[in-house]
């Protein structure tokens, strides 16, 4: 059974990777691999005809998956509402550089720190929308959007609310905020700076075909600024809401969406039905790329099946027995997180290596947990479908799997190992 499930997952994974030559949208193989793996598990699994056991196993994973999907839906809707009201023009009108390298650093720095404040997924969605407004040429958009993936994942790795895995480690008592931020911000910054510097060097002297910011607005200045302010405030509010209430992040996102929705309705309550329809949240919902959400669901449910049959836990155990060196194991976990989701990998690691106050490595804020936060948070950048930010950008900008692998996987790998080396060199100072 396990072998059949792994084969189905790998075939589906290849279908996603070869989306362009096959001319089949990646959502189709993702859904197939996700559902078929569970179908095989249901038929061949050791449930002895007990449907409740299967339901329990599936329901164990669904809350986490639904949390991410509803979070994504809410964030994309808020971003679309800001976009419909031309709110991003308030920002793009202030970015006037035509230099490719200067634009690269502006985008990377904004993404890095925004990701730590919001989270890497929300930041990726916002920055993809900004890039779409700033740049005319698709090759330029693909290049900057790909760097957003690297910068967003690096920015999320040093913040307790920047990535799902750092949140898990924080809530699980493995890391404290007072140690996580000062110990991981420099390695994470290096992880972003190194690939950005290489790319910037290649761009020397090149200019951008910047989108014309002189547009005929359909909204007033007050409407643009109001929707941008309320929308961004709503996104920033999500981690605050989670910290205060301990409710899942999607609850805060939906609360923010409700507020943004209300403000949008109030802004246009006295307009004609035609104008109201254009600026309505229903129009924003219609513009969302639903296929990307279905693709995300397929990938997550498929990885959940691998977790249920203990493939990921078994992999972690095999690494422990085969390699032995904890630093190398952690680096390998980070690399593997570009192939399968980093969340179940970190969850498996937390089960294998519980917090041990007597150990230098496994005590709270120990070397293993800090290094795991960095590696699992940044390793997903090596493949475009290796992180939530990458999946979101892939859907928005239609980035091809092999295009990203050819142009950015090596850069992401270089940044990953550069930051890792910096952390290991800094650890004795800590």
In a domain, 229, yes or no: yes
Segment 235-251 shows an average pLDDT of 83
Residue 267: name the closest of 86, 76, 75 by CA: 86
Considering the chain, what is the average pLDDT of its residues?
Answer: 84
Segment 313-324 shows an average pLDDT of 75
| Band (35; pLDDT cuts 50, 70, 90) | very high
Chain centroid offset of residue 369 CA: 20
Segment 285-309 shows an average pLDDT of 82
Backbone phi, then psi, for 262, in 5-degree steps?
-60, -45
In a domain, 204, yes or no: yes
**pLDDT score at 211:** 62
Segment 25-39 shows an average pLDDT of 89
Query: How far is the C-alpha of 259 from the C-alpha of 108, rounded, in Å?
Result: 29
**pLDDT score at 157:** 93
Token pair of 47, please? 């449930």
Residue 152: name the closest of 181, 128, 182 by CA: 128
Residue 162: name the closest of 173, 153, 171 by CA: 153
In a domain, 214, yes or no: yes
Residue 127: pLDDT over 80: yes
In a domain, 323, yes or no: no
In a domain, 160, yes or no: yes
Residue 192: pLDDT over 90: yes
In a domain, 318, yes or no: no
Please name every residue paired with 99 in a beta bridge, in sequence order, or none if there are none.
Answer: 207
Token pair of 263, please? 């403000």
* Domains contained in the chain, number: 1
**pLDDT score at 341:** 67
Token pair of 54, please? 């299967």
| Band (214; pLDDT cuts 50, 70, 90) | low
In a domain, 9, yes or no: no
Query: How far is the C-alpha of 71 from the C-alpha of 303, rounded, in Å?
Result: 19
**pLDDT score at 15:** 85
Residue 350: pLDDT over 70: yes
Q: Which of 112-121, 142-151, 271-280, 402-411 has the lowest mean pLDDT?
A: 271-280
In a domain, 40, yes or no: no
Segment 229-253 shows an average pLDDT of 85
Question: What residue numbers bound the domain in which 143 lies?
Answer: 65-164+181-290
Residue 77: name the closest of 243, 304, 259, 219 by CA: 259
**pLDDT score at 76:** 81
Report the share of the chain in percent with pLDDT over 90.
25
């Amino acid at each position: 059974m396990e072998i059949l499930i792994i084969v189905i997952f790998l075939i589906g994974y290849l279908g996603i990777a070869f989306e362009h030559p096959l001319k089949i949208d990646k959502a189709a193989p993702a859904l197939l691999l996700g559902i078929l793996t569970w179908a095989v598990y249901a038929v061949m699994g050791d449930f002895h005809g007990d449907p409740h056991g299967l339901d329990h196993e599936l329901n164990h994973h669904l809350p986490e998956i639904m949390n991410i999907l509803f979070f994504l839906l809410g964030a994309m809707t808020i971003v679309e509402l800001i976009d419909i009201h031309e709110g991003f023009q308030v920002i793009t009108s202030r970015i006037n550089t035509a230099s490719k390298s200067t634009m690269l650093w502006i985008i990377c720095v904004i993404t890095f720190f925004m990701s730590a404040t919001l989270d890497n997924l929300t930041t990726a969605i916002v920055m993809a929308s900004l890039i779409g407004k700033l740049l005319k040429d698709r090759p330029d958009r693909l290049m900057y959007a790909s760097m957003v993936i690297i910068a967003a994942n690096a920015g999320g790795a040093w913040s307790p609310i920047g990535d799902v895995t750092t949140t898990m480690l924080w809530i699980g008592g493995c890391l404290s905020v007072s140690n996580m931020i000062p110990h991981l911000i420099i390695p994470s910054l290096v992880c972003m700076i190194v690939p950005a510097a290489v790319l910037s060097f290649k761009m020397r002297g090149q200019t951008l075909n910047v989108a014309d910011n002189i547009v005929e607005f359909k909204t007033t200045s007050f409407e643009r600024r109001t929707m941008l302010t309320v929308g961004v405030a709503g996104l920033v509010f999500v981690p605050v809401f989670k910290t205060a209430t301990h409710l899942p992040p999607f609850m805060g996102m939906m609360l923010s969406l409700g507020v943004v929705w209300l403000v949008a309705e109030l802004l246009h309550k006295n307009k004609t039905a035609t104008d109201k329809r254009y600026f309505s949240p229903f129009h924003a919902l219609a513009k969302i790329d639903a296929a990307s959400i279905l693709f995300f669901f397929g990938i997550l449910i498929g990885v959940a099946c691998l977790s249920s049959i203990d493939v990921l836990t078994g992999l972690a155990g095999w690494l422990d027995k085969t390699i032995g060196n904890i630093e190398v194991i952690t680096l390998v976990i980070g690399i593997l997180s570009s192939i399968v989701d980093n969340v179940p990998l970190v969850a498996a690691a937390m089960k294998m290596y519980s917090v041990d106050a007597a150990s230098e490595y496994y005590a709270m804020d120990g070397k293993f947990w800090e290094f795991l936060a960095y590696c699992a948070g940044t390793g997903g950048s090596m493949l475009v479908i290796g992180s939530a930010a990458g999946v979101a950008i892939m859907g928005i900008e239609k980035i091809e799997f092999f295009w990203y692998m050819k142009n950015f996987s090596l850069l992401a790998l270089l940044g990953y190992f550069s930051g890792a080396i910096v952390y290991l060199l800094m650890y004795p100072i800590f």
